[in-house]
Amino acid sequence: MYVKTIPDGYHSLTPYLIVKGASAAIEFYQAAFDAEVILRLDTPDGGVAHAELKIGDSHLMMAEECADMGFLSPQTLGGSGMSLMLYLEDVDSAFERAIVAGGIQLREVKDQFYGDRAGTLKDPFGHAWTLGTHKEDLTEEEIKQRMMAEFS
């Protein structure tokens, strides 16, 4: 029997977040990004061993931090070395919903030189998210010219 090497609905790359307070994180992602819980496996003590959420057309996996395995949250580490990019139909309303749900604005929503309208926030669990709506299809040269003009 043939089994697909990438499950239906998944992409080749799926972010896997380590969070402190995974149950609360799931609630935040549901409120902020309309996340749908696909799978949730709880530990006997009520922690989240593994969860899979669907946001838009993409999946996001997460688990409770586990120091014994070296899986530490941004809160424990004092920051995160990555950011997630989430494209949405209406960045302004989605960004506002995420802030109301407990996100912290890092960069306001505005039109960007690369053709998106975007803003960045930090979720209550230390992960940075850039939310955007694609507004213009630009060539690489147009993006470079706009970037130079903006940063000059």
Does residue 1 fall inside a structural domain? Answer: no
Does residue 112 fall inside a structural domain? Answer: yes
Residue 134's domain comprises 16-151
CATH number of the domain encompassing residue 36? 3.10.180.10
Confidence of residue 66 (pLDDT cuts 50, 70, 90): very high
Does residue 2 fall inside a structural domain? Answer: no
In tens, the pLDDT along 84-126 reads 999 999 999 999 999 999 999 999 999 999 999 999 999 999 9
Does residue 106 fall inside a structural domain? Answer: yes
pLDDT (0 to 100) of residue 81: 85
pLDDT (0 to 100) of residue 1: 86
CA angle 63–103–124, rounded 5-degree value = 35
- What single-letter DSSP state applies at residue 71? B
- What single-letter DSSP state applies at residue 80? -
